Every structure is written in C-alpha cells, then in structure tokens.
Amino acid sequence: MVLGPEPIAPLRSVRHALRILEVVARHSSGVSHSGIARETRLPSDRLVELLRMLRREGYVEQIADGAYIGGASLTLLDTGVPGRGRAVEDKLQKSLGALRDSVGAAVYFSRYVDGEVKITQYADSPHTPKVNEWVDFRAAAHAMAVGKCLLTQLDHDGRRDHLSRHKTVRLTSRTTTSEKVLFRKLDSQPPTVPVLDLQEYAVGTVCAAVPVTAGHTVGCLALSLPLERAHRLRQAAYLLNREAAPMLLSLTI
C-alpha cells in the first residue's frame, strides 16, 4: 500500500513548536503574532498551524490584546512542578482520546522499555475497538506496526538482541519470518513514513505506527483498524503522523 506524499515529520514540528515556546517564554507579558513570526522566522502558514496546535493543547494562551503568553499545560509540565510524571501521563491520555476521535481508530502510545515492547497507554471506544492481544505483544514486535516502528529506532545490535529473545515466528500468512528480510525492511523504512502492519499480527486487522522519540525515550504512536475499514488506513496514518507532534511535545518539555 502506497501512502502517497511524505507526511510532515513530527520531530520537525516539535522543533518549530519549541522555537515558538522559547519566544513566548522570553516575553512574559505577551508577544504578538508578528513578534513570534519575526523571531522564529517560520513561514506564515506553518506558524498559524503550530500556534493553533499549541493553543488547542494548552501550551499558549491569547490575552485580551491578542498577544500570546504561556498556557496552563506549559506550567503543569514544568520540570520543577511536583507530580510532573502524572501530569505527562494525563496529558498524553487526553491527547490520545482526541486523536482517536480525529482519526476514527483505536490509538496507542508505546515505548521500548528494558528490552521489551510495552504499550503504555491507549484510547479505544465501542466504535473503534483495540486490537485483540491474541499473542503477547512483547513476543510479536516483528509482526506489529508498533514493534517494527520501535525496532527501526534501535541500532543493529539492539535489534539482534531483541530477536535473540523473541523469534520471528509466523502469526499469519503475511508475517515476515526471515530475520534477513525483516532487517532489510527496517533499514529501508523512511523515518517520516508510517510503518504498516497489513494483517501480519492478526487476520482482519491493519495498523500503522509513527516514531515518537524524545531524548533517550524510544516510543511510537499507532492506530489499528478492522480490515473492512482498511480503505481508511492511508488517510488515518497521515493524520496520525501529523498529530504525533503534541505527544512528542509533552515528552520533550
């Protein structure tokens, strides 16, 4: 399946968003749209898009004269605030819920922790059911969009170590069981294009995942759809990649 034009990389969006937040932080009494544009030198349409996202996520607010100041989310996620870890989790869960509704699919946030694939948070609903974990996700990285996306972020030795503990067993007729073929696919995966799982983990389910990496955190954002909605995977994956920025921003600040 071809996903079309290369989506916007979440990491690039976050870098631009951080530049905006740095400008806002320097102007505690507020800074105008034109002032932010002048100091960040971002294209007008890009700046409008990012400011809309930052307002939606509560990182900036507009005061009476239209100037921008730091928002409640920025204060809550400050490294010096007690309970920051819980605040980050709550912010991610809220963002996941909004993303689920936006893409019309169950969505997942996953990390590679202590050598294992771990889905730390997810958002589903009766209309967007999550994947049935019929095989332990920790043992199925080679077949899942989540797992493959996390493996692409590891170096060669890290991948070897993982596959030495979790063999590439066949889960469906579409599962890649050759380590050589799997490594070739991982190496050729463009970082800004979603990783796909087209019934490789479970018959009747398709998935997509994009990397969400901050510092030493190896993570990803993913979605799943039942096969009868596979025609929506291309657009849903594109939206997933565009909307990964708020998740990454929460982890970065």
pLDDT tens by residue, 190-211: 877 899 999 999 999 999 999 8
Contact call for residues 123 and 107 (beta carbons, < 8 A):
yes
Domains and CATH numbers, the chain: 10-76 (1.10.10.10), 84-252 (3.30.450.40)
pLDDT at position 122 is 96
Strands 195-198 and 219-226: unpaired
pLDDT at position 195 is 94
When the pLDDT of each residue in the chain is averaged and rounded to a whole number, the result is: 88
Of 72 and 83, the one with more pLDDT: 72
Residue with tokens 């696919």: 185
Q: How far apart are the first and last CA of the chain?
A: 35
Q: What are 223-249's pLDDT values in tens digits?
A: 999 999 999 999 999 888 877 777 777
| Average of per-residue pLDDT across 41-49 | 93
Contact call for residues 92 and 60 (beta carbons, < 8 A):
no
- Full-model pTM: 0.77
Residue 144 has pLDDT above 50, yes or no: yes
Residue 4 has pLDDT above 50, yes or no: no
pLDDT at position 77 is 59
pLDDT bracket for residue 39 (50, 70, 90) = very high
Which residue stretches of the chain are H helix? 10-26, 33-40, 44-56, 72-76, 84-103, 145-152, 156-165, 179-187, 233-242, 244-252
For the chain, percent of residues with pLDDT exceeding 70: 89
Q: What are 86-135's pLDDT values in tens digits?
A: 777 887 888 899 899 999 999 999 999 999 999 999 999 999 999 999 99
Residue 11 has pLDDT above 70, yes or no: no
Question: Which residues are bridge partners to 118 per DSSP?
Answer: 111
Contact call for residues 138 and 166 (beta carbons, < 8 A):
yes
Distance CA 61, CA 208 (A): 33
Residue with tokens 């993913």: 222
Contact call for residues 107 and 96 (beta carbons, < 8 A):
yes
Return the axis-axis angle of helices 179-187 and 145-152, rounded to nearest 10°. 70
Q: How far is CA 155 from each of CA 60, 139, 151, 199, rounded to the nearest angstrom?
A: 37, 19, 8, 26
pLDDT at position 3 is 42
